[in-house]
Chains A and B, each alone.
Chain A
Amino acid sequence: MFEVVAIYAYQILFSISIFILISLGLAVIFGMMKVINLAHGEFIMLGALFCAQLAGAGVPLFLSIPLAGLIVGLVGIVGERLVIRYLYGRVLDTLLATWGMSLLIVGAVTTFFGPQTASTPQDLGNISLGTFSISVYSLLMILLAFALLAALYLVWRMTRAGLIVRTTMQNAAMAQALGIDTDRVFMLTFGFGAALAGLTGAILVPLFGASPTMGAFYIAKAFVTVIAGGPLPLTGTLAASSLFGMIDGAVAYLTTSVLGEISVLFVAILLLRFLPKGVTRGLKGRV
């Protein structure tokens, strides 16, 4: 009995942590900066790809993961300088331009690395729970997801950098008047969001592998989570991830993973019908 409950809890936590991970970067870029970043899935893909390449070249996995995140952060900064910075405030145009970027990245990766799936082994082993067994890596991933979200929340709320970013996103003109170089803040925040997405991809690569078109797999889930989360990007992401993770985990465990995803989308649309501003709407100004 205990084992069944434990494995069930594990399934749901696993599913929640995936939702958190894939939404983190988007919570920064879309939730805070209001840039509809359709290249988010490709940032995740690049993280996975770079991590697989680095690990394949002999770099230890625990180093490859942050390195991959860093590289994707740089890619994000390049994209911001070349395209995004001309489009702030034009929401629809950012959507279209980042979609273009997403296709560009997929095309470039396919051209240079080929369309196949790369995978990275991890050797942390399994824990057995009666008749079930759970991989240690997955458990670590769950911890990491929550830790990253908590860390991001602390940076956002407690540090000077977080304060500068919040000021800039709320009123760029005012921030500029206070002597903040808002152009740089936008650039770095975008890069930071991209790096988080890259980190996610790198963390996920031992579990799911890396292929050029994998971004499409995450983009819908990530957007639905951040939109349903509402005006408080981080609290909202946690709330929406928990809700959707629970639904997805439970339905996928009982039926198929596709049914899990469909039920998530269905719930999200119902939610938006009745809470059009997202689940954290009533909390605005409090947290």
Chain B
Amino acid sequence: MAILTTVGLMAVPSFYDFAVQYDISKIFVLALLALSMSFLWGYVGILSLGQTAMFGLGGYVYAIVAMNSVDTATAALIGIVCPTLFSAVLGYFLIWGRIGDIYFSVITLAVTLILEKAIRATSGDRFVIGKVRLNGQNGIPGVPSLEIPWEAKATLFIDGVYYLTAAVLILVYVGLRLTLTTGFGQVLVGLRENRRRVELLGYDSRHYCLGAFVLAGAVAGLAGVLFAVWGNFVGPSLFDLDRAAQIVIWVIVGGRMTLAGPILGTALVVTLTTWLGTQGVGQVTLALGAMLTLFVLLFKKGLLPTLSELLSAVARWAASRRAAR
């Protein structure tokens, strides 16, 4: 199944034009962001609403470093390291402060909103880093794509970005799945199930929470870098409340207790909102709001688990029919 999907995805550029590849690459990048949240929320039980902070930081840092004519691979690396460090510092303060889970969600949300405001206020000549003007509201255009290491002066084009984002998504997905099978990952799942018991067994839950938060921060930062590479642009909307809400919606629609669900959820919701966006102003937000409220009230598990329950019910029914005959 997984291999079939992989092969199918890799064959897309041979059949579809650049416009389709461009749209799908965006979904891959955003699905990474969704993964960073569902890993934390579905498996460790921490809901960080500040994954957009790491996403935006990753994008901005990549843009600024790359446009200061450092080679793009180094820029990408720095673009991942910075949000990782940031989540380590933020996580330290929040987790060692032992604030409640719910406050963790609210404060992380506040952090990304403040970052957004800070970026929006950087218009004018005072805010220049190296050769790059931050441009406040308007964002930074002309962010370079990744250079191809084995071809001088060449950068990734749309199909290249497609392959890259697809490969990264698959690698991160597999990586997170493997992480969950390690001792570290098992403790994380234990934390979700029963934090007190984990502590009584001798594990310092704070280290594990921080570890998971930093890992998720790195994935979100990576998504941010790829987003800048994909769109050749970064702006304050990388951090904003709408995006933060959308990640939650992708995850909750797909099913937060799985890692595949959020990828599916991202694909569905992004496709839907892109289409709605062409229909008029206001409807996207309206639809997203309705989706979020409905899923919380009625389908808390999300689509993928609901679907698989349905399938296994059908299978059981078919089996009982066969047995009866």
Contact = CB atoms under 8 A, between A and B. Distances in A.
The reply to whether A and B meet directly (CB within 8 Å) is yes
B97 A216 contact: no
A258 B106 contact: no
A101 B285 CA distance: 10
A146 B267 CA distance: 49
Interface string A86-99: 11000111011101
A108 B286 contact: yes
Interface in B270-288: 280-288
A86 B297 contact: yes
Contact of A111 (B99, B281, B294): B281
B289 A115 contact: no
A110 interface: yes
B281 A110 contact: yes
A141 interface: no
Contact of B113 (A93, A103, A220): A220
Interface in B66-115: 90, 93-94, 96-99, 101-103, 105-107, 109-111, 113-114
A237 interface: no
A104 B297 CA distance: 15
Contacts of B285: 103-104, 106-107, 110
A104 B107 CA distance: 23
Contact of A107 (B109, B252, B282): B282
B292 A99 contact: yes
A262 B291 CA distance: 32
B296 A97 contact: yes
B68 to A, nearest CB: 24
Nearest to A41: B241
Interface stretch (A151-159, A175-183, A265-273): A265-273
Contacts of A100: 288-294, 296
Interface in B114-158: 114, 117-118, 120-121
Interface in B229-281: 240-241, 245, 248, 252, 280-281
Contact of A96 (B111, B114, B292): B292
Interface residues of A, number: 45
A242 B293 CA distance: 35
Nearest to B246: A103
A2 interface: no
B27 interface: no
Interface string A210-227: 001000100110011001
Interface in A130-153: none
A107 B284 contact: yes
A269 B282 contact: no
B102 A92 contact: yes
A99 B245 contact: yes
B220 interface: no
A261 interface: yes
Contact of B248 (A96, A104, A216, A227): A96
Interface in B291-323: 291-294, 296-297, 300
A276 interface: yes
B289 A223 contact: no
A227 B98 CA distance: 14
Nearest to B280: A111
A86 B298 CA distance: 11
B29 interface: no
Contact of A104 (B98, B109, B286): B286
B223 interface: no
A104 B290 contact: yes
Contacts of A111: 280-283, 286
A270 B90 CA distance: 10
Contacts of A216: 113, 240-241
Contact of A227 (B107, B114, B296): B107
A81 to B, nearest CB: 13
Nearest to A258: B121
B110 A110 contact: no
Nearest to B117: A258
Contacts of B289: 100-107
B40 interface: no
B277 to A, nearest CB: 12
B282 A108 contact: yes
Given A97-B296, A107-B282, A262-B118, 19 more contacts: A87-B297, A93-B300, A95-B106, A100-B293, A100-B294, A100-B296, A101-B293, A104-B289, A104-B290, A106-B289, A110-B282, A110-B285, A216-B240, A220-B109, A258-B118, A268-B107, A274-B97, A276-B98, A276-B99
Interface of B: 47, 90, 93-94, 96-99, 101-103, 105-107, 109-111, 113-114, 117-118, 120-121, 240-241, 245, 248, 252, 280-294, 296-297, 300
27 contacts: A36-B105, A36-B106, A86-B297, A92-B47, A100-B288, A100-B289, A100-B291, A100-B294, A103-B245, A103-B288, A103-B292, A104-B289, A104-B290, A105-B289, A106-B282, A107-B284, A107-B289, A109-B282, A110-B281, A114-B281, A115-B282, A216-B113, A223-B106, A224-B107, A262-B114, A269-B90, A274-B97
What are the 3 tightest A-B residue pairs by CB atom distance, in nearest-first order? A107-B286, A103-B289, A100-B292
